[in-house]
Amino acid sequence: MRVFLWSLVAAVMIADSASAATVQVRVMVENVAPTNSVAFAPLRVGFNNGTYDAFNVNQPATAPIISIAEGGSGADWFPAFMAAQPSATLGTVVPMPAGPLVPGATASAVFTVDSMVNQFFTFGSMVVPSNDHFIGNDSPAQYRLFDNVGNLLISTINQFGRDIWDAGSEVESVAGAAFLVNGTNSVRIPDTDVVTFDFPGLNTFNGETTAAGYVFNNTLSAATPIYRISFTAVPEPATVALVAIGAVTMIGLRRKK
């Protein structure tokens, strides 16, 4: 019986290793910005092969990243991503209740990923209040998430004030800013600038009341933490094997009795 049970444990571990290409990963996001500071639209994510490039610094923003930067929706980002790589795993991490992720809030979602094909992680989220600010990775190969057998290579991605992009596609104005009581996101004045880093540009909205009820105050510096993305395996590595070993131990104890 013991030989059989330990053989079962070995079989479970081998099967677990063989199926490592398909993994489940929990993505948790946290708004770690100061109180009364920036909030974030739901995070749009793509597990991919490291080839789709949504934008480039010092170049004009195109429709995919504009859909995230100006409205937080990803209405053009998702189709462009899928057209470039149909095998990518795409999705959204939505706060509960749905809406902007305000300072101190968290949200999470679980994704099933082919880690042999989609080893890289790409993300984008509108920063509010703003007209066209966002966070996201310029290089599609910046974050390699999985190794060749599905193990996580990184556990967190941290974003700071210096990581806030300005898409350069819309003029900054309170009247057209998202997430403000006195702003309407659909009121837009087109701009023809390029994508650059620009957290000081959010000073435009200082003193304005947000949709969440607080008065916005941009106290960000380049080194101020604002956002954290965390990754954990589901179930965590070795969980299946531990359960099987536990079963062997319990059966052995019962036999001794």
| Domains, the chain | 26-237 (2.60.40.2130)
pLDDT bucket at 37, cuts 50 / 70 / 90: very high
Q: Does the pLDDT at position 1 exceed 90?
A: no
CA distance 50 to 56: 14
CA distance 7 to 17: 15
Q: How many CB atoms lie within 10 A of CB 229?
A: 22
**Mind listing the pLDDT tens digit for each residue in 230-250?**
999 998 554 444 444 444 444
Identify which of 140, 143, 147 has the alpha carbon closest to the alpha carbon of residue 116. 147
pLDDT bucket at 53, cuts 50 / 70 / 90: very high
What pLDDT does 244 receive?
Answer: 45
What pLDDT does 257 receive?
Answer: 52
Query: Which string of b and e fits 10-39 if b means at least 16 CB within 10 Å?
Result: eebeeebeeebeebebebbbbbbbbebbbb
What pLDDT does 13 receive?
Answer: 45
- pTM here is 0.85
Spacing of C-alpha 215 from chain mean position: 26
**Mean pLDDT over residues 164-173, rounded?**
97
**Mean pLDDT over residues 214-234, rounded?**
98
What pLDDT does 20 receive?
Answer: 58
Share of the chain above pLDDT 70, in %: 84
Q: Does the pLDDT at position 176 exceed 60?
A: yes
**Mean pLDDT over residues 19-44, rounded?**
94
